[in-house]
Every structure is written in structure tokens, then in C-alpha cells.
Amino acid sequence: MTDAKKREAEKQVVELMIKSYCKHTHHEKQLCASCQDLLLYACQRIDCCPFMAVKTFCSSCKVHCYSLEKRSQIRDVMKKSSWRMLFHHPILLLKHGLSSRRRHK
């Protein structure tokens, strides 16, 4: 997978997770301002990542490019929405996990 395709796939996964989180935590049909801000921030971080070719997950990266506040927010999103991804987007989650696992070896 090329870096550009990997970036787009990561953005897609993050967007789905943030939308799921917002829907179930903030009970909004559309992304609230806080979640929209987090999504834009995450996409900017993904676009600027110099390790895209070799990285697995941001949490296992040696360089943390998220601010402490945003890192805390994204951890909460991942924690609360990852299990929903199993039911709503299992193939996408599986592809994401396998892609990242292959790069980790």
C-alpha cells in the first residue's frame, strides 16, 4: 500500500471512530464542534506524519506529534468506539489491523 493510500485509509478509520464516539457520547447526529476539531487535528497529523511508510499505530510511535490534550481525547475516542467498529465496520477494522501488523514485523 502506498503512503498516500495508507494516509487516506487511516483518515477514514479515524473519521468513522470519531463519528461513532460523538454519536454515542454527545448524542449528536452531526459531529459536534469538539469532535470536528479533533477530526481536523487528527487528519493534519496524519498528513504530516514522516513515518507513514513504516509506522503501525500512533500510540506505538516513538515521536508523539499530538498535543497532550488531543492525545487524551483521541485515546478516549479509540477506547469508547473501537469495539463498535467490530460490529459496524469489521472488514475495515480487520484491514487496518492487518496492514499495521504487517508493517510492524
Could you give the percent of the chain with pLDDT greater than 90? 46
* 3-state percent breakdown (helix, strand, coil) of the chain, nearest 5: 75, 0, 25
Q: How far apart are CA 55 and CA 105, in angstroms?
A: 10
pLDDT band at 70 (very low <50, low <70, confident <90, very high): very high
DSSP 69-95: HHHHHHHHHHHHHHHHHHHH-HHHHHH
> What interhelical angle do 90-104 and 68-88 show, nearest 10?
120
